[in-house]
Amino acid sequence: MDEHRSTWLSAALHRRSFLRLTALGAGIVGAGLLSACRGTPASPTPSAATPTAPAGTTPAAQTSPAPPSGAGGTFVIARLTDTVTLDPSRQYELTSPIVMGACYERLVTIDPPDIRTVRLHLAEKVDISQDVTTYTFTLRQGIRFASGNPLTSADVVFSFNRLRELKDNPSWLADIIQSMETPDARTVRITLTEPNAAFLAMLVSPNFSILDSAVVKEHGGTDQPGADKSDKATEWLNQNSAGSGPFVLKGWVKEQEIVMERNPNYWGQPAPLERVVIRHVPDPTTQRQLLENGDIDAAHNLDADLIAEVEQAGTAQIVRGDTLDTEYFAMHTSPEVGKELADKRVRQAIAYAIDYDGIIQQLLRGAAVRPPSVIPSGLLGVEEAENARYRTDRERARQLLAEAGLANGFTLTLTYSSGGTEVGGVSSEVLASKIADDLSKVGIRVTLDPRAPDVRLADYRAGKLQSTISGWTPDFLDPHGWAIPFGVPGEAAARRVAYNNAQVADLFQRAARTADPQERARLYAEGQRLLNEDAPFLCLYQPKAQIAVGKTVQGYVFDPVIGVDLSKVRKG
Amino acid sequence: MLGQFILRRLIVTVPLLLGVTLVTFMVSHVIPADPLMAILPERAANDPEIVRMYRERWGLDRSLPEQYLFYLRNLLRGDLGESYTSRRPVAQDLRERFPATVELALAAMLYAVAVGVTLGIVSAVWYERWIDHLARVIALVGVSLPVFWLGLLALQLFYANLRLLPGPGRIDPRLTAPPFRTGFYTIDSLLAGDLALFVNVISHLILPGMVLGSYAMGIIARMTRSALLDVLQADYIRTARAKGLAERRVVLGHALRNALIPTVTVIGLTFGSLLAGAVLTETIFAWPGIGRYAVDAAMKLDLPAVLGVTLLIAVVYVTINFVTDILYGVLDPRIRAQ
């Protein structure tokens, strides 16, 4: 049947991101975040020296806070869901953070569109030691879980220990915790294994949600060593929640629906919405039709063309915000795999040959920005690295090739995901072809090498590809989350292109131990400058999130960590 | 005798299904990529401890023949293994998704048979008249239109523009699914005593059913027409007519019964392909069936899921062939006698 011939469509619709979108922001941990902090932080003083203002987040019709009435109703989100589990300590995908944001809460949070300030939430105070190794939190009074149980420091310790002991995908986030003490029910003192100025920003991640330890234990949960085998709570947590958030989970059917209802026992202001349903709708055109017919209230996966059409037709509001996703071009640096690319000048020539503006204007309809290096715009030390940015300069590219003895060009193999989609919804084929075209203009002949998306990923991870295009989504709100994997030998991304520059690694590792935000920014900027000079990775673009919501929806703001804060959404 | 026939068919089935698992298993292992490297997130893939844990958990640390025997042993216990991506038993995934596909395929088949056979009869009876030409054009359109295009068009017209029929999904997005008993929403909604939901479920089956069934409808119409035309030339039909039998009885009573034999074969085979090949319809109509599951599993190198779906579809084909064979016997006593 035609079905078989036409699988390109379903393939194209399948947005694969390789890491879960957890976080975003400016992550100026030791820095600006303590604005909400009433206590006197033992150390890093809040400073206005925050980096780059990100290009803003556009909310849907702003509302003045109004007391929720009995109205509310059901809010339906259509998206391509990728949920594997809704256990906060195991989930590591792109859809689950929306549920985590609604049903659970964390010690700290952010308040988009301001994504640069980490704010206190369940904690009312934090003291950070001078050496950024000890973090002492004081919990707010009167917080209760949906079960009615009070939230205490023991729940915090249970949640973080369980995250680590489950030894699942996100467990590494908790590896940095050496010990936790609870002097009383409202105080938690966390000591890290090494100084880390990024820790507070890490705690914004949904994996650091605070669970109701009594309820989780009742359903077979444990935070003891060996929990990876003995913990039995996940099955229950997939269908129910054990948090303190404004909503409670009512059920999940894989790739069908996730249902949440308003938490009647919420300690804060109750959410205006009564019920939220996340429906699995893989096809973007279908999402658009559902939205325009009023059957759903938000469509999460419209591509740039559909967004433009909907906007022009005036049938929905478009909510925009900054993601921390990045798309990059990777070049292998070894003579065996990289061949000509082993010469730094050849990689630099490619950096000068790519038409970055063309990619953003033609392929993303302008809905993207481009940071100077692989660390996304909006984070600490990125604006400071502005002078390391590559700009298209074909003359310079040809000159560099000539210096490398390749005046007549050479043949480069560019591997990409056949039928795949890159971050920002760009077709892999189209992006690869665009780059091939750009490179041909300086004499580099590109052999396009399409492979099944996961075969490409596996080969890239195994370090077998001469060059490829790939995406990266954030782990947490701090440049640390990019600096290490891209800049330190043997780490996730660096290993795949055999990148090794001890100087870059040292700068990035020192930055993590530095409390002073200005000094941190300087170290990150210097590291990025050297990284760009080596050019193993070239950032192509950082897409904007574009979400279409119904015309009567209010208070819908894109949140790069949890997708959207559902407690603020209402329907007119 | 029929019992013996059934038994013989059943015995042949076992090596057939074994062959299916073996071939799928081998083909899946020819792909020169490590499924773990494709499935695990960035950090985990870089952590030898986590990689080792998953390798052990899924038995990927064993040799290939060992893995295959291991799989067969579990299969005998009804265990299809654990999906690498959903990290749930494959049997559970299929249990949740297969009813959705069967429900859709049945709706499609109902449409295809009703419309296809009718068109075929009309064409054959009014051979080479305008109504024949019209019916043939309809059948041709059904066979040749790409399903994804037809699906998008049908949604745009009947749902977005005319608002005559409900949109994608098995129920309206704001409604809640009936409690899971059989997985068939039609049955489950009735079991829950929710008539409004039942009506909603039926209305959601119409559009995707017609889209998915359009190809089968075309084939069935053409097959019925040509078979009926053949039969209408036969001596016994001339005899029947000569005896002064009403034309209606000649066609429906005598000719159609024999003409249906090739049609039944086609119905059987297309039903199988409806189950296995509804990927695009399922995508466009946000239908959580096994078609998309199979494609996703293949793209993610999710071997247990691929094996599970392949096995399920093989069982379906075998069953359909089996039922078709028995139907032959019912329709034509000569086949039974052989």
Q: Which residues of A touch B286 (CB under 8 A)?
A: 78, 279-283, 286
Confidence at B1, pLDDT banded by 50, 70, 90: low
Quote the tokens at residue A155. 């729940």
Q: Is B38 on the interface with A (CB under 8 A)?
A: yes
List, for residues B91-109, the tens digit of each pLDDT value.
999 998 999 999 999 999 9
How far lies A87's CA from each of A8, A210, A428, B96, in Å?
Answer: 33, 12, 32, 21
Show the 3-state SS of B39-83: HCCHHHHCCHHHHHHHHHHCCCCCCHHHHHHHHHHHHHCCCCCEC
How many angstroms separate the CA of residue A27 from the nearest CA in chain B?
A: 20
Hey, are the CB atoms on B168 and A281 less than 8 Å from each other? yes
Predicted confidence at residue A528, as pLDDT, reads 97
Q: Which residues of A touch B92 (CB under 8 A)?
A: none
pLDDT value at A419 more than 90? no
Least confident of A20-29, A266-275, A316-325, B326-335: A20-29
Hey, are the CB atoms on A286 and B33 less than 8 Å from each other? no
List, for residues A512-521, the tens digit of each pLDDT value.
999 888 999 9
Q: Which residues of A touch B281 (CB under 8 A)?
A: 3
Q: Which residues of B touch A165 (CB under 8 A)?
A: none
pLDDT value at A4 more than 90? no
pLDDT value at A105 more than 90? yes
Closest-CA residue of A relative to B30 is: A455
Predicted confidence at residue B336, as pLDDT, reads 60
Compare CB distances from A20 to B41, B177, B293 and report the shortest one's residue: B41
Compare CB distances from B172 to A14, A295, A454 and report the shortest one's residue: A295
Ordered strands of the A134-139 beta sheet: A123-128, A134-139, A187-192, A177-184
Q: Is B325 on the interface with A (CB under 8 A)?
A: no
Separation between Cα atoms, residue A383 and residue A50, nearest integer Å: 10
Confidence at A2, pLDDT banded by 50, 70, 90: very low
Separation between Cα atoms, residue A12 and residue B274, nearest integer Å: 22
Hey, are the CB atoms on A10 and B283 less than 8 Å from each other? yes
Residues B107-145 as b or e (16 or more Cβ within 10 Å = b): bbbebbbebbbebbbbbbbeeeeeebeebbebbeebbeb
Phi and psi, residue A115, nearest 5°: -110, 10
Q: Which residues of A touch B277 (CB under 8 A)?
A: 1, 3-4
Predicted confidence at residue B269, as pLDDT, reads 80
Separation between Cα atoms, residue A391 and residue A393, nearest integer Å: 6
Residue with the larger pLDDT of the pair A428 and B26: A428
Count of residues in chain B: 338
pLDDT value at B224 more than 90? yes
**Torsion (CA) A100, A105, A109, A113 in degrees, nearest 10:** 50
pLDDT value at A218 more than 60? yes
Taking the alpha carbons at both ends of chain B, their separation in whole angstroms is 10
A555 touches A60 (CB < 8 A): yes
Separation between Cα atoms, residue A97 and residue A19, nearest integer Å: 12
R_g of chain B, CA atoms, integer Å: 24
pLDDT value at A10 more than 70? no
Show the 3-state SS of B232-274: HCCHHHHHHHHCCCCHHHHHHHHHHHHHHHHHHHHHHHHHHHH
The bridge status of strand A411-417 relative to strand A445-451 is parallel
- The model's pTM is 0.82
Separation between Cα atoms, residue A517 and residue A117, nearest integer Å: 13
Tell me what the pLDDT averaged over chain B comes to. Answer: 86
Residues of chain B with pLDDT > 90, as a percent, come to 33
Amino acid, single-letter form, for residue A497: V
Q: Is B285 on the interface with A (CB under 8 A)?
A: yes
pLDDT value at A149 more than 60? yes
Separation between Cα atoms, residue A532 and residue A535, nearest integer Å: 5
The residue-averaged pLDDT of B121-134 equals 92
How many angstroms separate the CA of residue B44 from the nearest CA in chain A?
A: 6
Confidence at A46, pLDDT banded by 50, 70, 90: very low
Predicted confidence at residue B283, as pLDDT, reads 85
**Torsion (CA) A359, A363, A367, A369 in degrees, nearest 10:** -20
Separation between Cα atoms, residue B164 and residue B335, nearest integer Å: 47
B 294-313 residues with CB < 8 A to A: 295-296, 299-301
Separation between Cα atoms, residue B270 and residue A404, nearest integer Å: 61
> Nearest-CA neighbor of A423 among A387, A369, A349?
A369
pLDDT value at A529 more than 90? yes
Hey, are the CB atoms on A289 and B291 less than 8 Å from each other? no
Separation between Cα atoms, residue A223 and residue A158, nearest integer Å: 6
Closest-CA residue of B relative to A295 is: B173
> Nearest-CA neighbor of A122 among A247, A250, A243, A248?
A243
The angle formed by the CA atoms of residues B160, A10 and A276, to the nearest 5 degrees, is 60
Closest-CA residue of B relative to A75 is: B174
Q: CB pairs below 8 Å between A and B: how many?
A: 167
Q: Is B230 on the interface with A (CB under 8 A)?
A: no
Predicted confidence at residue A283, as pLDDT, reads 85
Predicted confidence at residue A60, as pLDDT, reads 56
Q: Which residues of A touch B33 (CB under 8 A)?
A: 454-455, 458-459
pLDDT value at A61 more than 70? no
User: A108 CB contacts (<8 Å, ≥6 apart)?
Assistant: A33, A118, A119, A120, A121, A123, A126, A200, A203, A204
A401 touches A353 (CB < 8 A): no
Quote the tokens at residue A311. 């906007």
Separation between Cα atoms, residue B326 and residue B333, nearest integer Å: 11
Residues of chain A with pLDDT > 70, as a percent, come to 87
Compare CB distances from A6 to B35, B280, B288 and report the shortest one's residue: B280
**Torsion (CA) A352, A358, A364, A370 in degrees, nearest 10:** 40
Predicted confidence at residue B124, as pLDDT, reads 92
Hey, are the CB atoms on A254 and B96 less than 8 Å from each other? yes
Hey, are the CB atoms on B41 and A462 less than 8 Å from each other? no
| HSE toward the beta carbon, residue B296, CA cutoff 13 A | 25
Q: Is B284 on the interface with A (CB under 8 A)?
A: yes
Q: Which residues of A touch B283 (CB under 8 A)?
A: 9-10, 13, 282-283
Compare CB distances from B280 to A10, A228, A256 and report the shortest one's residue: A10
A195 touches A146 (CB < 8 A): no
Closest-CA residue of B relative to A494 is: B46
Q: Which residues of A touch B46 (CB under 8 A)?
A: 491-492, 495
Taking the alpha carbons at both ends of chain A, their separation in whole angstroms is 46
User: B131 CB contacts (<8 Å, ≥6 apart)?
Assistant: B122, B123
Tell me what the pLDDT averaged over chain A comes to. Answer: 87
Q: Is B37 on the interface with A (CB under 8 A)?
A: yes
Residue with the larger pLDDT of the pair B227 and B39: B227
Hey, are the CB atoms on B173 and A295 less than 8 Å from each other? yes
B333: number of Cβ within 10 Å: 8
Q: Which residues of B touch A292 (CB under 8 A)?
A: 160
DSSP A502-540: HHHHHHHHHHHT---HHHHHHHHHHHHHHHHHH-SEEEE
Hey, are the CB atoms on B42 and A492 less than 8 Å from each other? yes
Least confident of A5-19, A312-326, B179-193, B270-284: A5-19
**Bond from prior residue into B304 cis (ω within 30 degrees of 0):** no
Compare CB distances from A459 to B33, B288, B299 and report the shortest one's residue: B33
B201 touches B166 (CB < 8 A): no
Residue with the larger pLDDT of the pair B279 and B200: B200
Predicted confidence at residue A492, as pLDDT, reads 87
Hey, are the CB atoms on B173 and A296 less than 8 Å from each other? yes
Q: Is B156 on the interface with A (CB under 8 A)?
A: yes
A386: number of Cβ within 10 Å: 12
B105 touches B212 (CB < 8 A): yes
Confidence at B2, pLDDT banded by 50, 70, 90: low
The angle formed by the CA atoms of residues B81, A80 and A201, to the nearest 5 degrees, is 95
Confidence at A41, pLDDT banded by 50, 70, 90: very low
Separation between Cα atoms, residue B119 and residue A261, nearest integer Å: 50
Hey, are the CB atoms on A14 and B299 less than 8 Å from each other? yes
Quote the tokens at residue A320. 């925009």
B6 touches B15 (CB < 8 A): no
How many angstroms separate the CA of residue B104 from the nearest CA in chain A?
A: 15
Confidence at A153, pLDDT banded by 50, 70, 90: very high
B6 touches B16 (CB < 8 A): no
Hey, are the CB atoms on A281 and B286 less than 8 Å from each other? yes
pLDDT value at A214 more than 80? yes
Residue with the larger pLDDT of the pair B178 and A444: A444
Predicted confidence at residue B277, as pLDDT, reads 67
Q: E strands, A376-496, where?
A: 411-417, 445-451, 467-472
Amino acid, single-letter form, for residue A164: R
A118 touches A135 (CB < 8 A): no
Least confident of A280-284, A483-487, B317-321: B317-321
Compare CB distances from B33 to A19, A290, A458 and report the shortest one's residue: A458
The residue-averaged pLDDT of B59-85 equals 86
pLDDT value at B13 more than 70? yes
Hey, are the CB atoms on B38 and A296 less than 8 Å from each other? no
Amino acid, single-letter form, for residue B178: P
Predicted confidence at residue A371, as pLDDT, reads 95
Q: Which residues of B touch A462 (CB under 8 A)?
A: 34, 37
Greatest Cα pair distance, chain A, in angstroms, is 74
Count of residues in chain A: 572
Compare CB distances from B44 to A9, A169, A290 and report the shortest one's residue: A169
Q: Is B51 on the interface with A (CB under 8 A)?
A: no
